[in-house]
Structure 1
Amino acid sequence: MPKIAPAYRDTSAPSYQEVIKHDPRPAPALFTAYSEAAIDVPGVPRSQYTSPEFAQAELERMWPRVWQVACREEQIPETGDLVVYHSPGASLLIVRSGPDEIKAFYNSCLHRGMQLCAHDTSVQKLTCPFHGFAWNLDGSLAHVPARWDFPQLEEAKFNLPEARTGRWGGFVFINRDPDAAPLEDYLANLPEHFADWPRESVYLAQMIHKTMNANWKTCIEGFIESFHLAGIHSQALPFGGDASTQYDVWPGNETISRFLEPVGVQSDQYPRRLNEQEILEASLATVFGGSEFPQLPKDMRARTFLATATRQAMSAADGRDYSTLSDTEAADAMQYSVFPNFVLFRSLTYPYAYRFTPVRDNPNQAVFDFMIFKPKPQDGSPVPETEHVDLGPGDSFAACGALPPWLGQIYDQDSVGLAMCQAGLRDGGTAGVMFSAYQEVRIRHLHQTLARYLAMPPL
C-alpha cells in the first residue's frame, strides 16, 4: 500500500490522501503520491535570522550561486525593454536584447561605476547617465566619450559583464555563478509537475510590493507551512485543513518542495466537531459575510460544493471552461517552493507566486513581492502591462484593491505575525529555534540546502 503520511503522524484530522480519495473529480496522479526524505535539521541558532554576519555570509556564498526569479518575459515584450532586478548583493538589468534573446547585465558603468538604470524602462542603448558611455543591447561597447582620453581602453574587452539567464514557464531566472548547473537541473521535478499547468499561458497582472519587518527566511518559512493557522488565522480553523496538509520533500532534491493543503476540512485544533453544513457556512461567511447560506445536498461534502462553486466562478471570471478540472486543482492550495526564495501555486483558487528578497544591510527586513496572474488573451492580443502596487509600512493588503478583503486580511495577519516573530528572534535571548518533524519539514529542507551553500568559499 502506498504511503500516505509519516508513520508517526497521530491526529484525528484525515491525511490529505484520505481527504482526496472521496473527491467526485479525482486528483491527477501527481497529487496522489506522498514523498518524504530524512532531513536532520532539528533546529538552527536564532542568529541565522538576525545576525549581520550571517546575512553577509549568505550574500557571499549562497545568493551568487542560486537561480533566482528576476522577472517575467511579458514584462519585457519588445527589444530594448528592461527590468531592474535588485538581486541580493548585485543590481542587474534584465534586457530583451533581441526578439527571442534575454540577457542580464550588471547595472554598473565600467567607467566610474554609475548605475546605468534606476528603474524599468525601454532603451536603444544602455547609456550611463554620468558621462555618457554607452553599450549596445548585446553588451558590446557602443560609445566612449572623449575616446582620445582613454588610451588604456580596449573595445573588445570592454563589454558589459553578464550574469547567466534561464527561462521556464514565462519566468526569467538569473544566476551569477558561471559554473552553476543549468536551470533545467536546478528546477528538478518542477517542470514535470507543471506540464499540465503551463505558466506560459498566464501573465503577471499585478505585483504587490511590501517591505516586511522580518528576515527573508522568517518570511518564506511563514508561508510554506500551514501549522500557523491556529495562531495567526484562527478564523480559518473550521475549513482550512491545516492538520490535513501534506508536505512533500523528495530524496536527492535540494531545491524543490511542496505542500498540498485541502479546503473544506476542519482543523484538529478546532474545539468541537463540525458537520459538513457548518464547515460550508464557516467558509462562506469568512469569504462573503452574511448569515444566509445554501443548503448542501444530501451526502455532499463542503469541499465538493466549494470546488464546484470555484470552477463556475473562475470560468466566468477568466472566460475559460474549467468544468472538467479536478477538485484538488480547483479549490486546494497546491504550493511549490524553489530554493531559496520563490513560491509558486498550482491551483485555480491561488493564481499567485511569492518572492522574498533581503533588504541590504538589514537582516531584520525583507521585500515581499506578491505576484498575481491572469490568463493571457485568447485572441493573441498583447497582454496588459503589469500593475505595481507599493504598500508602505502602514498600508494594508486588505485595503490595497488588488485582493479580496478577506484574503487581504490573511496577509495583513501574516505581516503582523512575521514582524512579531522577527522581534522575538532578535530580542528573545539566545536559545535556538526548533522545527517540527513533519509540518515544518520544508523549513528543515530549506536550512539543509542553505547549509550546503554556506559551506562553500565566497564566490
Structure 2
Amino acid sequence: MGQQSQFAPDYRDSPAPLFQQVIADDPVAAPPILREYSEIDIPVARVPRDQYRSIDFAALEMERLWPRVWQLACREEQIPEVGDYVLYESPGASLIIMRSGPDDIKAFYNSCLHRGMRLCAEDSSVRKLTCPFHGFTWNLDGKLAHVPARWDFPDMRDDAMNLPEARVERWQGFVFINRDPAAPPLQAYLGHLPAHFADWSYGDRYLATVMRKTIDANWKTCIEGFVESYHLAGIHAQALPFGGDASTQYDVWPDDPHVSRFLEPTGVMSDQLPVQLSEQQILDAALSAVFVGAQVPELEAGTKARHYMAAGMRAAMGAADGVDYSTLSDAEAADAIQYSLFPNIIIFRSLGYPYVYRFLPVRDDPNRATFEFMIFKPKPADGYIPEVELVDLGEGDSFAGAGILPPWLGEIYDQDVTGLRMCQQGLRDGGDADILYSAYQEVRIRHLHQTLDRYLSDDPTDAPGRR
C-alpha cells in the first residue's frame, strides 16, 4: 500500500492535494461521512460504443432496465391535495402519480382498460379519473366507478377492472415508482443515501424550479458527463485555478450497486495548470469568474481562498434562505458533494448546489435525452409552498440566458450541453472502437456500467436485490 492509499489509489501521481488533505485544516470541520473513503476496483475498463447509439441496445434497456429500477417520479409537494396528480413519462410507461388520500399516493398506468385511451393529458386535479374517449370512470383509489351502457358488457367483472398500478414508495419528499413487483424495497435500493442524508434532509426543502432541456446525447452520455471532474480542463478551463478537479475524491462502495459519490473541493487549483498559484491568485480567479469586474478583497495572512469562499457562501445563502448556516462545515458550504442514484439521478449535499438532476431517454432515439435540472429551497416557516416553476429550454435557449442561474453558472451548464452533444456525435459517427474509462477518476462510470450489465443480463436474478 502506498503512502496515500488510505484516501487515494496507490498509483495516483499528482502534486494536487487529496480531498481529505484539503479539508483537514478547514476552520469549520467536515462531518464524519465526508471523512470516509471507499475505493474498489471495478473491472469494466471499456464498453462497446453501440451501448450509446444503438436502437437495439436502447430497446434492451427499455425491456430489462427501466421496468425493474426505482425511478424518481415527482415530489410530494407537487401533489399536495387529494385528487392532485402529475404525469410521469417513465421510459416505456406513462404513469399518473395521484394523491388518492391525505397520506396515500398511487401510480396508475395512464391507459383506459376499455380501449387503451390515455386517461390524462397533463398535470391537473380531479375528483375522479374519466376516460375522454367513452367515459369509463374510476375513483381516486383506482376502483371502477362508472361504465356507460354497463348493460353492453355482460362479461365484465367490476372487481377485475381496477386500474393497474406501479409500486410507490417515498423518501424525504421524493416519490419513487417501480414497475417490478419483485424489486427490492426502496430503502434497500437507496443504499448509502438514507444515512448520508439523515442530517441533510430534502424533506425540509421544496422543489422550486425545474429547468428542462432536450440534449443531443444518450442518457448515459449525459449522466457520465456529470459524475466526474476529469473533464474540467477540456470543457470548463476557466475553473482550473479553483476547481479542484485533481483533488476530487471518488467513492464507490462494494456493497452498494446503486449509489456512488464524488467530493470535489472548491478553492484548490488544478494540477493541469503549468504554474503554482498563491491563495490570493486562486481567490482572484474564483471571484472574478463569479463577479465579473468586481474588486477582489485581499486575503488576511494565513487565510486560504476556500475558507474565504466558504464563509462567503454561508453568509450569502443564509441571507437568501433566511437560515443561520454559521456552523455549517466549509466542505458542505463550498464544495460539490454529489451522489448518483442508479440509473439516472444525481443529488447534491452542498449548500451552494441545492440541485437534483434527472436524465430520461427520448423514446426511439438513443442519441437524445431530456435533462431536468431541479432547484430546491428551504421550506418557509409559514408552510406556504408555491407551485413549481417549469422552464422549458428550447433548442436555441441557453441556461445562461434563462435568468434562473447566475450567469457564470449558466455558462458552465451551457458548456456541458455543447460538450455532451459533441461527445455523442463522436460516439455515433466515430467508428466501432470501444469506449475506454480511467481506473479512478471515471470509476463511477465503471460502476454504472457494472450495475447496468447486471440488469441487462439474460438471467433476471443477476439484477441487484431480486426477491
**Hey, what's the Cα distance between the residues in 2 that align with 1:407 and 1:292?**
19
Q: State whether structure 2 residue 409 is matched by structure 1 residue 407.
A: yes
Q: 1:94 aligns with which of 97, 111, 130?
A: 97
- Whole-angstrom CA distance in 2 between matches of 1:457 and 1:388: 41
Q: Verify the 8 A CA contact 1:84 1:91 in the aligned structure 2.
A: yes
Q: Is structure 2 residue 341 aligned with structure 1 residue 331?
A: no
For residues 10-159 of structure 1, the aligned pairs below 5 Å read 10-159=13-162
Aligned counterparts of 1:14 and 1:98: Cα–Cα separation in 2:
53
The Cα offsets for residues 135-164 of structure 1, whole Å up to 9 and x where unpaired, read as: 111110011111111112110000000000
Question: 1:7: how far off?
Answer: 1.2
2:421 counterpart (419, 422, 434): 419
In structure 1, the residue matched to 2:396 is 394
Flag the 1:456–1:172 CA change in 2: closer, same or farther, 3 A.
farther
Aligned-partner Cα distance in 2 for 1:329–1:371: 19
1-structure distance, mates of 2:367, 2:272:
31
Aligned to 2:401, what secondary structure does the other structure show? coil
Partners of 2:343 and 2:237 lie apart in 1 by 28
In structure 2, the partner of 1:433 is: 435
Normalising by structure 1, report the TM-score: 0.99
1:362-386 C-alpha deviation (Å, 9 max, x unpaired): 0000000000000011122x20110
Identity %: 67
Out of 328, 347, 354, the residue aligned to residue 344 of structure 1 is 347
1:456 CA displacement: 4.0
Q: CA deviation at 1:453?
A: 0.3
In structure 1, distance between residues paired with 2:404 and 2:107: 30
Q: Which residue of 1 aligns with 2:221?
A: 218
Q: How does 1:219-298 map to 2 (within 5 A)?
A: 219-290=222-293, 292-298=295-301
One-letter code aligned to 2:203: E
C-alpha distance in 2 between matches for 1:200 and 1:276: 37
Shift of residue 430, structure 1, vs aligned partner: 0.3
**TM-score of the pair, normalised by structure 2:** 0.97
* One-letter code aligned to 1:136: N
* Matched residue type, 2:457: A
Secondary structure class of the residue paired with 1:24: coil
- Residue 378 in structure 1 maps to residue 374 in structure 2: no
Unpaired stretches in structure 1, ≥5 consecutive residues: none
* TM superposition shift of 1:252: 1.7
Displacement of 1:213 in angstroms is 0.3
Counterpart of 2:16 in 1: which secondary structure? coil
The AA in structure 2 aligned to 1:58 is E
User: How many residue pairs end up in the alignment?
Assistant: 458
**3-state DSSP of counterpart to 1:84:** strand
Find the aligned partners of 2:460 and 2:199 in 1 and give their Cα distance.
Answer: 39
Deviation string 1:298-355 (CA, Å, 9 cap, x unpaired) is: 0000000000000000110000000010000000000000000000000100000000
Return the offset for 1:256: 0.4
CA distance in 1, matches of 2:196, 2:458: 30
Superposition deviation, residue 292 in structure 1 = 2.1
TM-superposition CA deviations, 1:163-212 (whole Å, max 9, x none): 00110011000000011110010001100000010110000000001001
Aligned equivalents of 2:458, 2:198: Cα separation in 1: 34
**Is the Cα–Cα contact under 8 Å of residues 106 and 163 in structure 1 kept in the other structure?**
yes
Structural RMSD (CA): 1.1
Residue of structure 2 equivalent to 1:451: 453
Alignment of 1:164 with 2:158, yes or no, is no
Partner SS, residue 284 of structure 1? helix
How far apart are the structure 2 equivalents of 1:173 and 1:94? 10
Query: Structure 2: how far apart are the matches of 1:421 and 1:31?
Result: 32
Q: CA deviation at 1:263?
A: 0.2
CA positional deviation for 1:38: 2.1
| 1:345-360 correspondence runs (5 A) | 345-360=348-363
Residue 465 of structure 2 is matched in structure 1 by none
Looking at structure 1, the residues matched to 217 and 155 of structure 2 have their Cα atoms a distance apart, in angstroms, of 47
Q: SS of 2:77's equivalent?
A: helix
Q: Is the 8 A contact 1:61 1:456 kept in 2?
A: no
Structure 1 residue 119: Cα displacement: 1.0
CA distances 1:249-269 after superposition (whole Å, capped 9, x unpaired): 001210000000000000000
Unmatched segments (≥5 aa) in structure 2: 462-467
Q: What is the CA–CA distance in structure 2 between the aligned matches of 1:457 and 1:174, rounded to whole Å?
A: 23
The one-letter amino acid of 2:375's match is I
* Distance in 1 between residues matched to 2:123 and 2:98, nearest whole Å: 10
AA aligned to 1:379 is D
- Distance in 2 of aligned mates of 1:292 and 1:388: 35
**Distance of 1:316 and 1:13 partners within structure 2:** 34
For 1:293 and 1:187, the matched residues in 2 are separated by 43
Shift of residue 291, structure 1, vs aligned partner = 5.2
